[in-house]
Amino acid sequence: MQVTKTQVVIVGAGPSGLLLARLLARARIQSVVLEARSREYVEARIRAGVLEQGTVDLLEEAGVAARVKRSGLPHDGFELAFDGRTHRIDIHRLTGKRVTVYGQTEIQKDLADAHLSDGGTVFYEASCVKIDKIRQASPRVGFVHQSIAHEIECDFVAGCDGYHGISRKAVPTGERCYYERLYPFGWLGILVDQPPVSEELIYVNHERGFALCSMRSKSRSRYYLQCTLGDKVEEWPDERFWIELRMRLPVELGKRLVTGTSIEKSIAPLRSFVAEPMRYGRLFLVGDAAHIVPPTGAKGLNLAGSDVNILNRALVSFYRSNTLAGLDAYSGTALLRVWKATRFSWWFTSLMHRFSDDAFAHRLQLAELDYISRSESASRSFAENYVGLDFN
């Protein structure tokens, strides 16, 4: 067995894990990153692409914002489509802020390229990862890489390995509390190399179900349809998808839709999930390891960025000033923002999706959407949550 030491072990080489590693490296704090999958697998995952300004600022702090600023698409607003019409929420006028459309896949590549080129350590395809002694001053993380057993002694462990990872499971059952809401539908997503139907995102409430018109660039579009949990991807050939999407769009938008052959298609279930606390001993849960939100409003990656920001500053404070105050406050501070974003994602999901064939419930949704379209204060509240609350 190879035994080594570092300051922070980061479990998971997704965006939150690599972003934390980059920030720590710039503060001269050592870290080792472990990832169960291959680099190719991690970089091929299709995920969200709407970044809050706080996330863009954090990428800049980590030294990986060049491509975001060069290729990202700044958005000053978005459209709500309902009852056969559209209404634009001017987020920049209402809040003074913007969001940026830039695919998580590209962020993943930017982070990995920068970290590895600077000599950062990432063990891809690490198996049998085990986190031990997290209540002690020097936790241990064991794993197997290329048939060689390793053990790393460290000061802290950051669990950035997602909802299905091992980090959260390292917290004893009696020390953790879960809050969860499962939704009775999923999102069928399609990626196509065609220009988007609009320069801004369009969220659609329709009697046939929710739809979202999004993009990854000026020439690559991402579209979603609400589907049942029993639907299968193979049941949705491209032609059926485009027909259904046009049916849910207002007529004029449907006429502008440019269709094409899909280059990726998948179905994702929706859930809201929060684990408390986000810290146990010297283990800190980050991003999807601690919380999941439905993709409506694109809060998942941005919440992970907020967690990374809080934890990074707490770790820097510990190593520079030998104070545990920031680390002790991590869970409580992070959860304040997590629950607000969870509330917004739940509300937006409830507003835009069909939960049943209940016509009364649908009329209430339309009434609320009409109220938002006519009320400055309601629109401002919506916009404030959409652009993201300030990073702590």
Tens of pLDDT along 66-116?
999 999 999 999 999 999 999 999 999 999 999 999 989 999 999 999 999
Residues 262 and 368 occupy one common structural domain: yes
CATH number for the domain spanning 113: value is: 3.50.50.60
Residues 175 and 261 in one domain: no
Check whether residue 336 and residue 253 sit in a common domain. Answer: no
Among residues 102, 183, 223, 386, the one annotated as catalytic is 386
With beta carbons less than 8 A apart as the criterion, state whether 121 and 115 touch.
no
Determine which one of 295, 330, 353, 362 is catalytic.
295
Residues 247 and 302 in one domain: no
- What integer is the mean pLDDT of 338-350? 98
The range of the structural domain enclosing residue 247 comes to: 184-270+355-387
Q: Which residues pair with 280 in a beta bridge?
A: 283
Confidence of residue 234 (pLDDT cuts 50, 70, 90): very high
Q: Look up 92 and say whether it is catalytic.
A: no
pLDDT at 45 over 90: no
Report d(CA 155, CA 144) in Å as an integer.
20
Indicate whether 114 and 258 sit together in one domain.
no
Q: Are residues 156 and 125 in the same domain?
A: yes
For residue 46, pLDDT over 80 is answered with: no
pLDDT the model gives residue 48: 73
Of 134, 153, 31, 87, residue with least CA distance to 366 = 87
Indicate if the pLDDT at residue 330 is higher than 90: yes
Note whether 253 and 368 are same-domain residues: yes
Question: Residue 191 sits in a domain of what CATH number?
Answer: 3.30.9.10
75 is catalytic: yes
Q: The tokens 């067995």 sit on which residue?
A: 1
Evaluate whether residue 325 is within a structural domain: yes
Q: What is the pLDDT of residue 196?
A: 97
- Least reliable range by pLDDT among 48-52, 131-135, 310-314: 48-52
Q: Exactly one of 75, 150, 206, 353 is catalytic; name it.
A: 75
Residue 230 scores a pLDDT above 90:
yes
Catalytic residue among 115, 291, 299, 353: 299
Alpha-carbon radius of gyration of the chain: 21
**Mean pLDDT of all residues in 223-233:** 97
Cis peptide before 277 (omega within 30 of 0): yes
Q: Write down the catalytic residue from 183, 203, 223, 330.
A: 203
Say if residue 275 is in the same domain as residue 264. no
In this model, does residue 1 exceed pLDDT 90?
no
Q: Are residues 216 and 244 in the same domain?
A: yes
Confirm whether 353 is a catalytic residue: no
Do 204 and 249 reside in the same domain of the chain?
A: yes
Q: What band does 298 get if pLDDT is binned at 50, 70 and 90?
A: very high
* Chain segment 241-276, per-residue pLDDT in tens: 999 999 999 999 999 999 999 999 999 999 999 999
How many domains does the chain divide into? 2
Place of tokens 């193979």: 234
- Do 208 and 344 have their domain in common? no
